[in-house]
Amino acid sequence: MMNRCGLLTLQKEPVPLKSIEVELEVRDHVATVVSTLNYENKEDKPLEAVFVFPLPGDAAVCHFSAKIGQTQIVAEVKEKQKAREEYDDALSSGQQAFLLEESDQSPDIFSLSVGSLPPGESASIRLEYVTELSVQADDGLRFCLPAVLNPRYQPQGSEGAGVQVTSVPASLVPYSLSFSARVSSPRPISKVESNCSLDPLQYLNTDQTQATVKLAAGHKFDRDVELLIYYKDAHQPTAVVEAGQASAEPGSLMGDSVVMVSLYPEFPQSVMSSMASCGEFVFLMDRSGSMGCPITNSKQQETRISSARDTLLLLLKSLPMGCYFNIYSFGSGYEHIFPKSVEYSQQTMEEALKKVEQMEANLGGTEILQPLKHIYSQPCIPNQPRQLFVFTDGEVGNTKEVIDLVKKNSGSHRCFSFGIGEGASSALINGMAKEGGGHAQFITGTDRMQPKVMQSLRFALQPAVVDISVTWDLPKEVSVTVLSPPITALFQGQRSLIYAQLSGQCSEAAEGCVTVKYSLAGHPSENQLHFSLSPAEDTGLTVHRLGARTLIRSLEMDERENRGQQDGGVKEKVVQLSVQSGVSSSFTAFIAVNKDNSEMIQGPLVRRNIPTPLCMDAAPFPAPSAFMPNSMAKCERTTKESIFRGVVHDMAAAPEQPPRDPLLHLVSLQGASGCWLLDPALATALGKTNEEVEKSKPEKANSEVWATILALIWLHGFKMDAKDEWELLAMKAASWLRAQNAPCVTECVDAGNVLLGCSVKKEALGL
């Protein structure tokens, strides 16, 4: 059957998934998510329902059970092939069975098979996972319940078959979602924000450390549900010790205590104020068809690619003189602006900006592996540390191959990754940054891309932290086994997590200490955290499961690196750990068989794929013979696959360009050295006539000094809300001004304030 945009419900074929209920429990920065999926077979034939859905890329799935009528069956974790065989055997002998497994290509996609649901029968499936919440640029903790599973572009020749996803327009998603969250923290909760309508936050106690919040009624599960949780004084280092499971074997991971340490290194101000003036900055921009879609459905005119162009403008203006740079873009193939990285100058900056202005989302599919291989094959430039910035809407089928490549080259660069729009693969975006020693950001909903990217540029300009070591000081009867991979990157104010297994007995009052030592710009530094070894109450086995998941992911990566070598022991180790901890892995699956139903189910099973929402962003791939009707949304016309297959559609006339953002207009006029020229274009950007600007200039002032001071006053006077975006280029302008040793700076600042109607102090401009 042809997957024509997945509009299966129009064929009047009933979809057996009726509703999804999600309960979220957030404790500090760890989330436990319980999803209940309710199925009902309204057909007159027995059904097998298959639902392919996304989860956060670093989630640890730790419980799976099914309830049919009054019978409750809890699934077990088994080696994947064994679980599949058991599932098939159960179906062929007429029993009901349920199988939950992780995709071989990407750890953030799962498929759930509900087998042998008799006519008229209902089944309720409960799925539980735990995950850490990532820290955002503004210190908010981000939780995302992914709804949108964009079709994953499967590059030619990559391993394994792609996941088959059926998608329908959001208005036709035939199931509803109810979602509630309970948040508790040692620190007060200041606010919770979301991209979806929420009922008001309800505090449960007077010190505001516990609260509940839920989605407003009537939410269609047609987009990712994103929550941003803000605590007061969020950046406190903490350690949580969790007692082992009484029934587990002492000495095993589940039998011993496990500690989760969160560190927030604070670097000396003297080092932080000296931004690097060197580096090779390589920007890799996705130009596949789906980058032509709106960033958000509410702001139709701003597409992902237009936002990316504006972001590249800010990045290019903010680079330090003396560095090197290049810009690559990719789709089914890839292009570069310069054959190799060039020195940053007025001429190379202008040449790059001309090319950036012409960038469109017209390069087809998402083949990110080849351009990465090309970039890594370029020799590094001595004394110019390589910083790679990757922008993508993150829809690739070979996630693990890409992450492995970044890890292999982690010694030669830092990788900063940006997931644009809903449905970007969290496994890909987080995995690239983690293995590349950089930082990941997600740009969704009403977010502007620019402040997040500029924060990452600040990180990239921080001197790299080297020689990182972690030491433990514990009572002599306690030994420690670290479960996390070694820390490879530290950034000012960003959290680093360490999981460790603690073996042995100690007194209730015993204390431990963990010390992180590192070297920053030639200065040795350390951060210490003292913590009590007595276990926290009431944490369930959350910390154990997250620790197990961390260790499983590291082992899986080792297994892929050493594939083909004789050591087959890693896979066995992963399977053993996964079964013991009850946490899913790429080598295991959850299997549940209802052995109680004595009546065998008669007749062949009918298979039904349950559709996921098709966001505005990406139409599913048509079958080769399926041409999309011209009435489809323009965005759907430019899906990666249709371009990739050479199916070219008549594009509607381009919409009128929206007026240029005044901030970006002013920024576009800045020179590479940091100064502005006194010309009519600058006067227009400042909202003045050329004559007014010329006439107000103090007599002895140099025109470029005057122009640059005016631009800085305008930024400080009118655009303080966007300071994150222009701060670096303003610092560059201020250092250019200081280098001029120009007379009458004070007069220029005074005259500029009068002309622009501002009252900005000279000190605020950094002069």
How does pLDDT run across 10-48, given as a tens digit for each residue?
Answer: 334 555 778 888 999 999 889 999 999 888 888 888 878
- Average pLDDT over every residue of 728-749: 90
pLDDT of 540 > 90? The answer is no
Q: Angle CA(475)–CA(476)–CA(481) in degrees, nearest 5?
A: 85
The reply to whether 91 and 73 lie within a common domain is yes
524: domain CATH number? 2.60.40
Distance between CA atoms of residues 395 and 153, nearest Å: 6
Q: Is residue 370 part of a domain?
A: yes
- Average pLDDT over every residue of 706-733: 92
Q: How confident is the model at residue 597 (pLDDT cuts 50, 70, 90)?
A: low
Please tell me the predicted confidence (pLDDT) of residue 452.
Answer: 84
Q: What is the DSSP string of 513-564?
A: EEEEEEEETTEEEEEEEEEE-SPPSS-TTHHHHHHHHHHHHHHHHHHHHTTT
Least confident of 107-121, 315-329, 504-518: 107-121
Rounded to the nearest 10 degrees, the angle between the axes of helix 304-318 and helix 346-357 is 180
The reply to whether 408 and 494 lie within a common domain is no
Least confident of 100-104, 220-224, 457-461: 220-224
Instruction: Point out the domain boundary residue: 461, 487, 508.
Output: 461
Instruction: Domain of residue 704: give its range.
Output: 675-765
Cα separation values, 240 from 31, 182, 243, 538, Å: 14, 19, 10, 11
Least confident of 49-53, 423-427, 464-468, 578-582: 49-53
Question: Structural domain tally of the chain?
Answer: 4
pLDDT of 71 > 50? The answer is yes
The reply to whether 606 and 534 lie within a common domain is no
Q: Is residue 738 part of a domain?
A: yes
The reply to whether 576 and 445 lie within a common domain is no
Q: How confident is the model at residue 529 (pLDDT cuts 50, 70, 90)?
A: very high
Instruction: Point out the domain boundary residue: 430, 461, 492.
Output: 461
Least confident of 33-42, 199-208, 605-614: 605-614
- Average pLDDT over every residue of 478-492: 88
pLDDT of 161 > 50? The answer is no
Q: How confident is the model at residue 117 (pLDDT cuts 50, 70, 90)?
A: confident
* More confidently predicted of 638 and 727: 727
Q: How far is CA 144 from the centre of its chain?
A: 9
Share of residues in the chain with pLDDT > 70 (%): 83
* More confidently predicted of 188 and 394: 188
Q: Is residue 497 part of a domain?
A: yes
Please tell me the predicted confidence (pLDDT) of residue 733.
Answer: 93
Question: Hey, what amino acid is at 447?
Answer: D
Please tell me the predicted confidence (pLDDT) of residue 634.
Answer: 30
Tokens of 307: 């936002």
Residue 201 in contact with residue 646, Cβ under 8 Å?
Answer: no
Mean pLDDT of the chain: 81
Q: How confident is the model at residue 123 (pLDDT cuts 50, 70, 90)?
A: confident
- Average pLDDT over every residue of 516-527: 86
Q: Is residue 662 part of a domain?
A: no
The reply to whether 308 and 442 lie within a common domain is yes
Pairing of the two strands 134-135 and 141-145 = antiparallel
pLDDT of 338 > 50? The answer is yes
What b/e sequence results for 264-279 when a residue is b if at least 16 CB atoms lie within 10 Å of its CB, and e otherwise?
bbebeeeebeebbeeb
The reply to whether 473 and 572 lie within a common domain is yes
Phi/psi of residue 608, nearest 5 degrees: -125, 120
Q: Is residue 667 part of a domain?
A: no
Please tell me the predicted confidence (pLDDT) of residue 607.
Answer: 65
- Average pLDDT over every residue of 597-610: 60
Q: Is residue 640 part of a domain?
A: no
Please tell me the predicted confidence (pLDDT) of residue 410.
Answer: 87
Please tell me the predicted confidence (pLDDT) of residue 488.
Answer: 82
Q: How confident is the model at residue 3 (pLDDT cuts 50, 70, 90)?
A: very low
pLDDT of 151 > 70? The answer is no
Q: How confident is the model at residue 372 (pLDDT cuts 50, 70, 90)?
A: very high
Please tell me the predicted confidence (pLDDT) of residue 12.
Answer: 42
724: how many CB neighbours lie within 10 A of its CB?
Answer: 17
Q: How confident is the model at residue 75 (pLDDT cuts 50, 70, 90)?
A: very high
The reply to whether 105 and 194 lie within a common domain is yes
The reply to whether 74 and 218 lie within a common domain is yes
Nearest to 639 by CA among 623, 620, 613: 620
Instruction: Point out the domain boundary residue: 446, 461, 476.
Output: 461
- Average pLDDT over every residue of 382-408: 87
* More confidently predicted of 175 and 658: 175
Q: Is residue 588 part of a domain?
A: yes
The reply to whether 129 and 225 lie within a common domain is yes
The reply to whether 323 and 441 lie within a common domain is yes
- Average pLDDT over every residue of 178-187: 91
Please tell me the predicted confidence (pLDDT) of residue 647.
Answer: 26
Least confident of 226-235, 322-331, 643-652, 749-758: 643-652
pTM metric for this prediction: 0.78
pLDDT of 128 > 70? The answer is yes
The reply to whether 316 and 447 lie within a common domain is yes
235: how many CB neighbours lie within 10 A of its CB?
Answer: 15
The reply to whether 442 and 538 lie within a common domain is no
Q: Is residue 572 part of a domain?
A: yes
pLDDT of 235 > 80? The answer is no
- Average pLDDT over every residue of 349-357: 94
pLDDT of 583 > 90? The answer is yes
310: domain CATH number? 3.40.50.410
Q: In sequence order, which residues have a C-beta less than 8 Å from that of residue 22 and are 6 or more positions away?
A: 33, 34, 35, 36, 145, 177, 178, 179, 180
Tokens of 91: 């179906």
